[in-house]
Chains A and B, each alone.
Chain A
Amino acid sequence: MIRPGPEQLSSAAVDDGTPIDFNELRSARMRKVQSVMSDLRIGLLLLGGEANIRYAVGGRRLWTAGERPWAPTCIISASGEVRLMSQYDTGVPPEVSQENLFCLTWNPANFGAQIAAAASGGIERIGLDGASMTMMDVLDVAVPGATLVDASGALLDARSSKLPAEVTLLELATQLAGEALLAASRTITPGITISELRGRLEAAIRSRSVCVPADSDRLALPVRSVSDLVSSGDAIVMRSALLHAGYEGAVTRTAVCGAPTPDHRAAERAWQQAWEALLPVFSPDLDGAGLHDALAAIPAVDLRKSTARAIGLGVERKIGGSLHPHDPLREGSVVMLELTTCHADAEVTAGCPVIVGPKGGVTMTTLHPAPIVVCGS
């Protein structure tokens, strides 16, 4: 695994020393987007979803937590020409011309003007990955009579099967996430607060090359403790999830402050056995219902706490839960699998990405394969 060294001046996703031809990767992703447009017979694609924009265009934008109201901040023509809302050309790939950048705007009419200009040749069908009531009014004026087409599902399908370079980037991001988790876990000592620990993990993520935290809410959670103060013997679930070059890296481990008890070790063995038992089910066509059944068949697994999410440029979708229980995984999908196992009063939660393959899942390499990280001793 090649990763940025400490002195590497990686200023963007495109120059951090990974053996990736980012020009070719962006080009390959855009071809898949254009294929979606062709299949749906749409002449213009309006994107507001940040992950879709990352996929189609690449580049690096100011990261903010949470959502923004939907707006077509990226407009793609069938030819691949991109109009992008960006206040500067920093981090914008060279194939997006300066003339096609438009300013951050608060005025919906300015989006209408961009859409109308992109549709000037006469566009009958326009694809969307979302919408807002405000933007529906804008579209009525900008492209009257155009048929709107839901492109969100097709784009998600296109993104779900990974190109080889994308798998490499997911591995790199996961490596960075694991490093950050280990670095932060080494600062755990009795007396540290959970709030401090969350800050240290977030700082460890941000210190690595150019990474942003993907999920700041769940960085560190104490197991069966109501106190914010960590004591000797406490277990803490640490979730290191980050975005690097737009791709999600995720590692979860249970940090035990002090010596793990025999029950911790028993829960750890149960976790390892469960992981090995589950890997074969991660073959194409596994769906949420199938995963639920596989998890339910292992008594040591806490079904309520175990999760699976397809990842790529962030999270693509939840596997399981009440939505879309029968949507199958595809070969080449990558799933962040997190299992919780219990033994007596001890509980271990750990996980990392799994690549879906014809012969079952393959675990992405992590720095620390064991589910428990011992610290503070």
Chain B
Amino acid sequence: MTSQTIKTTHNSCTVSRLDDTLRPLCKVRRAGHLAETGAYALIQGWGDQMTDIDTAIDTRAMQAERGSRLRTTMDSLDLDAVLLRYGPNVDYASGLPTPIADSSHIASDPSAVLVIASDPVPHVFSDSGAIPIDIDSDHSHPPLDIAGDDAADRLWDAIRSCLGDARISLGVDELTAALACNLGGLQRHTDLTGAATVMAIARSCKNSHEVACIEKAETINEQAAADIRDLLIPGARHNHVAAEFVSRARALGADGNVIDPIFHPVRPRLNEGPFTPNGEPAFPLPGSDYLLADGDVCWVDTGILVHGYASDFGRTWIVSDDPQPTADQHAQFEQWRGVVERVLEKVGPGTTGAELMEAAGHVHGRRPVLNHFYLIHGIGLESAEMPLIGTDLGPEMDSMMILEPGMVLVLEPVIWSDGSGGYRSEDIVLVTEDGYRKLSGDDYWPFRSAS
């Protein structure tokens, strides 16, 4: 293996920085984009931009504001306590981060949080070495053992030790199978309800620190994507492009990568497959090591984390030594822009999801969405979270979704014309008091470049 070796020729270079025994020869189109030293051309103003964002992030203040918002929301729903086991909820309520790991790793080392509406410090039940410093020893406990026949009794004993014997209204998100089989054991002591609503309301509006985390994650993601896009040439392997992306994102300051990076060729006709149960384009497919072919139209979707907050970078790229969209592809891009602009005209406090769906209209005789996804999703500690607009929950749910300041929305319309393929990109905006502020960049290469 040769490390840190980049051989340059006049207009292309061979990348073998990591492991040339397995890496394909990737010609890079523009000499200078990947410099001979391995350095990349940073987006103009990168350093100032990152400094500004970092200044806006105070993780302890972020946690204090999240806790306050959660307890206020609990009060409004008459909940005395919530017991949270789902990672993003645990993180939101306590600051205990969800490991960036396979779900099996997390399940083998479970954490839980009990938030009491009248107590500003949550009780954390965990073996993790990452207990936040604001959790004192009275609120730090061993992990909950809630498997087996007496799981409900043991859970109630743990709750009672924090809250006393009085009957309480308790919201719970995730159950173990053992608890599900003996809910009565908890209902004897509590008015039991789901915690999905309280957590969705609390988490859907972000404080300034949360917004800054998302903005930083998105900025890193966009830079990393810009740095590796020239690798999408005929003959490149998908998994090697993905590897370059995650490596670059880490070097730029990402805490981790949260999804198989998707650089997924979409066939122009649905009957070219793969089969889908709803007859929609197959997206997003899992990572693989297929070879990219000249002219492949790739729907790109990637996401990284900063302080637990996700980015969401979606674009449409074309595999080519010299990507030049066709007239049809350009028209689809313009149609996508049209949908986004119509929707953004309506974005602001008080607008309903139904109004946004109406603004999106129809393109080529269909809603400009993939029917198994949405027109809009929220983003935060999960890459897709409430508010969800345009899902299979239906128009009634859309009409109940009312925008509020602090919501961060990912707009991801999809234009599809069978036979010509489709265009998909994602824009991220923050709902403000008087409209919105765009958090994602304006580079839609190769369709339109910010530069």
Query: Which A residues are closer than 8 A to B by beta carbons?
Result: 6, 9-12, 49-51, 60-70, 86-91, 98, 101-107, 110, 128-134, 136-137, 148-153, 183-184, 186-187, 189, 193, 195-196, 198-200, 202-217, 243, 248, 309, 313-318, 321-324
Contact = CB atoms under 8 A, between A and B. Distances in A.
Interface in B131-150: 142-143, 145, 147-148
Given A107-B392, A195-B253, A207-B22, A64 B260 contact: yes
Nearest to B305: A65
A150 B100 contact: no
A89 B275 contact: yes
A112 to B, nearest CB: 13
A89 B195 contact: no
Contacts of B17: 187
B180 A68 contact: no
B250 interface: yes
Contacts of B258: 64-66
Contacts of A213: 257
Interface in B352-395: 371-374, 388, 391-394
Given A64-B260, A66-B258, A151-B177, A202 B275 contact: no
Interface string B100-114: 111111111100000
Contact of A204 (B19, B145, B193, B286): B19
Contacts of A66: 87-88, 98-101, 103, 106, 258
B289 A10 contact: yes
B102 A243 contact: yes
A132 B174 contact: yes
A207 B240 contact: yes
Contacts of A193: 251
A67 B257 CA distance: 14
21 contacts: A6-B22, A66-B99, A67-B86, A88-B285, A90-B274, A105-B392, A107-B393, A131-B174, A137-B194, A152-B147, A153-B148, A184-B18, A202-B243, A203-B18, A204-B18, A208-B22, A210-B288, A214-B102, A314-B102, A322-B145, A323-B127
A148 B212 CA distance: 44
A202 B247 contact: yes
A63 B287 contact: yes
A150 B177 contact: yes
Contacts of A110: 392
B61 interface: no
Which of A10, A12, A90 is most buried by chain B, counting CB atoms within 10 A of its CB?
Answer: A90
A63 B248 CA distance: 19
Contacts of A217: 99-101, 256
B368 to A, nearest CB: 18
B249 interface: yes
Contacts, number: 280
B9 interface: no
Interface string B257-284: 1111010000000000011111010111
B181 A128 contact: yes
A89 B246 contact: no
Contact of B1 (A67, A131, A186, A324): A186
Contact of A200 (B18, B86, B278, B280): B18
Size range of the chain B interface in the assembly? 35 or more
B18 A129 contact: no
Nearest to B286: A62
A195 B224 CA distance: 14
A206 B246 contact: yes
B117 interface: no
B109 A318 contact: yes
Given A11-B289, A87-B372, 13 more contacts: A6-B21, A9-B290, A12-B288, A62-B286, A67-B106, A69-B174, A103-B371, A152-B176, A186-B1, A199-B247, A199-B249, A204-B19, A321-B127
Contacts of B239: 206-207, 209-211
Contacts of B347: none
Contacts of B277: 86-87, 98, 101-103
B172 A183 contact: no
The DSSP consensus for interface residues of chain B is loop
A313 B290 CA distance: 24
B296 interface: no
Given A62-B259, A62-B284, A148-B180, A134 B276 contact: no
A215 B108 contact: no
Nearest to B239: A206
B196 A206 contact: no
Contact of A88 (B1, B98, B240, B276): B276
A209 B88 contact: no
B286 A61 contact: yes
B175 interface: yes
Contacts of A134: 194, 196
Which of B86, B247, B288 is most buried by chain A, counting CB atoms within 10 A of its CB?
Answer: B247
Nearest to B172: A133
Contacts of B177: 128-131, 148, 150-152
Contacts of B284: 62
A133 B192 CA distance: 9
Contact of A131 (B175, B247, B275): B175
B108 A315 contact: yes
A69 B98 CA distance: 13
B3 interface: yes
B101 A214 contact: yes
A138 B193 CA distance: 14
A13 to B, nearest CB: 10
Contact of B4 (A104, A187, A317, A321): A187
A315 B246 CA distance: 23
Contact of B291 (A9, A49, A51, A202): A9
A67 B259 contact: no
Which of A101, A104, A134, A248 is most buried by chain B, counting CB atoms within 10 A of its CB?
Answer: A104
B242 interface: yes
A319 B247 CA distance: 32
Nearest to B248: A199
Nearest to A54: B104
A211 B278 CA distance: 29
